[in-house]
Structure 1
Amino acid sequence: MANWLQVRRLRGSVSNWNQWRVNNPGIRPDLSGADLTYGNFSGANLSYADLTAAQLFHTTFTEANLTRATLASAYNDYRNDGYPKGTNFSRTILSGTDLSNIRLRNANFSRANLREANLSGAKFDNVDFSGADLSRANLSGAILSKFYLGGLANLSGANLTDTNLSNANLTNASLSGSNLAGCILTGAYVGGCNFSASILDQVCCDYIFIENLAGKVRCPPTGKFASGEFASLIQQYGTVDVLFSELYSGKANNKSENTDKPEKKKSNDNGYITLIVEGIIGALATALGNAIAGWVGGIVAFAIAAIIAFLFHA
């Protein structure tokens, strides 16, 4: 259980708290199980603090130092009394921090330092890790629905074994050297993602998305990857963008070029035939017009002569 004197001190003033930490370097703060709802602890020194199972409803830790702190099983995901569920860890230092089995909704970890952090078994719903450093972090078995990792997030060397990244946005993230064995990537956005030297054994991926000038593009365009196909294609082409350009977009362009050529040739042949037919029809029309003109002219001349003769005799 939390030390309530320490909880009151933290809630009272961050500057006084930080000074207390300086004066008592040997004390590890015990905030386990504490209700930190609506607390603003921006810039607080919470390194090595124990926040196990703490309640983090609408709590702010912006630019705080939680190096090697423990937030295992902390949460903000079930309260139904009208409290907002967002928790803000933007630009927070969480290197080596234990966040195992943490449960967060609508949280913000943008540009946070999570190097070598333990997020195994974590459950995130609609969480933003854009620009965060998760290098060598452990996310094994984590559930990351609506997980946003765009904006050059760093997951190089991370452990993502059996992690659920379905529908996650990994645009431009670095996954070089990471372990994605058994990871679920179906429906994820992986445009610009760096998979170099990654372990992709038994990755479950039916399809993925990239975004380009045409907008949201599905890969493959229809159907789904065969078992193990995504991993082999990434190993062959290096990135999803090259894969799409060479394998899918390239095929579409070739098909378009092949179908254009016969149509062009057919169009030229039809042009020649049309010219010949038009020439024949023109000649026939001229001859017929001359014949009709001659016949009509004869009748008119005979009629005029008859009229003159009648008038003369009269």
Structure 2
Amino acid sequence: MPNQEHVTLLRKGTQAWNAWRSKHPALKPELRGSIIRTSLKSVDLSSADLSDANFNNTELSGANLSSADLSRAKLARANLSGANLSSANLATANLSGANLSGANLSGANLSGANLSGANLSGANLSDANLSVTILSGANLSDANLTGANLCATHALDTNFQKAIFTQTHINNWKINDATNFGEVICASCYVHNHLLECYSDSRKLALGGFNQLFREVA
């Protein structure tokens, strides 16, 4: 159960909430299972317990959600552009149709999350866990996936144009002819836990060769 005082304060908006947090920096907000519809642009929810919370359609651009527990949270169509979600737990969260453009998701746990149709263009997903994640129809153009785990990821009709795949872990993922790998960057990647060199110099791997490599491990 959430702390009702915390829920009431958060519903007052970013200014009131951030002022309270600055006075209580060591206190962990307890907002588990709460339903929030307030505009929370640039709100500080770092390290908060937001598991099972409902933020569908909520304005959270520029929010600090680093190290927050958002497991099973509902964030469909939420605006998280430019948000800090580094090291956050988003396991099995629903982020379908969400705007995560330019967001920092480095080291985040997105295992089993639904990101279908989400906008992750320019997002930092380095070292993120995307295993069994649904990315179908999502836009990951210019995203940084360095060191990310993409094992058993669903990436049908996904746009990876100019994304960085260096050191990613790939195994048994679901892709199709509409999955776009145009101009991707990949010096090496792990396929079935074996490191493969994609190219030996600074040149980008030719599109056809990269498509062939990735489709062979699908």
Q: TM-score range by the shorter chain?
A: 0.7 to 0.9
Describe the SS at the equivalent of 1:198.
Answer: strand
Structure with greater helix percent: 1
Partner of 2:98: 107
Alignment of 1:232-251 (within 5 A): 239-241=205-207, 243=209
Tell me the equivalent position of 2:125: 134
Letter in 2 for 1:116: G
Q: Which residue of 2 aligns with 1:68?
A: 67
What residue is the counterpart of 1:160 in the other structure?
150
Out of 176, 193, 197, the residue aligned to residue 166 of structure 2 is 176
Report the equivalent of 1:17.
17
Q: Which runs of 4+ in 1 moved over 4 A?
A: 234-238
**In percent, how many aligned pairs have the same letter?**
34
Instruction: Tell me the amino acid that sits aligned with residue 59 of structure 1.
Output: T
Alignment of 1:1-314 (within 5 A): 1-37=1-37, 39-76=38-75, 85-150=76-141, 152-187=142-177, 188-201=179-192, 239-241=205-207, 243=209
TM-score, length of structure 2 as denominator length: 0.87
Counterpart amino acid of residue 106 in structure 2? R
> CA offsets, 1:110-139, max 9 Å, x none?
000011001011112210000000001111
Deviation at 1:238, TM superposition (A): 6.1
Shift of 1:235: 6.6
8 Å CA contact 2:105, 2:124 repeated in 1: yes
Q: Counterpart of 2:4 in structure 1: which amino acid?
A: W
Kindly tell me the number of residue pairs found equivalent between the two proteins: 205
Higher-RCO chain (CA-CA 8 Å, sequence separation at least 6): 2
Distance in 1 between residues matched to 2:66 and 2:55, nearest whole Å: 18
Counterpart CA distance in 2 for 1:182 and 1:175 is 16
SS in 1 for 2:138: strand
The structure having more radius of gyration, on CA atoms, is 1
User: What is the SS of the residue equivalent to 1:199?
Assistant: strand
Q: Which runs of 5+ in 1 are unaligned?
A: 77-84, 203-231, 245-314
Q: Identify if the C-alpha distance between structure 1 residues 239 and 7 changes in structure 2 by more than 3 Å, giving closer, same or farther.
A: same
8 Å Cα contact 2:183/2:204 also seen in 1:
no
Q: Secondary structure at the match of 1:16?
A: helix
Q: Note the alpha carbon deviations across 1:150-190, whole angstroms, 9 max, x for none.
A: 1x210011011111112110000001110012222223100
CA distance in structure 2 between the aligned counterparts of 1:19 and 1:52, rounded to whole angstroms: 23
From the superposition, tell whether residues 110 and 69 of structure 1 become closer, same or farther in structure 2 (CA, over 3 Å).
same
2:215 counterpart residue number: none
Unaligned 5+ segments in structure 2 are: 211-218
CA distance in 2, matches of 1:166, 1:239: 22
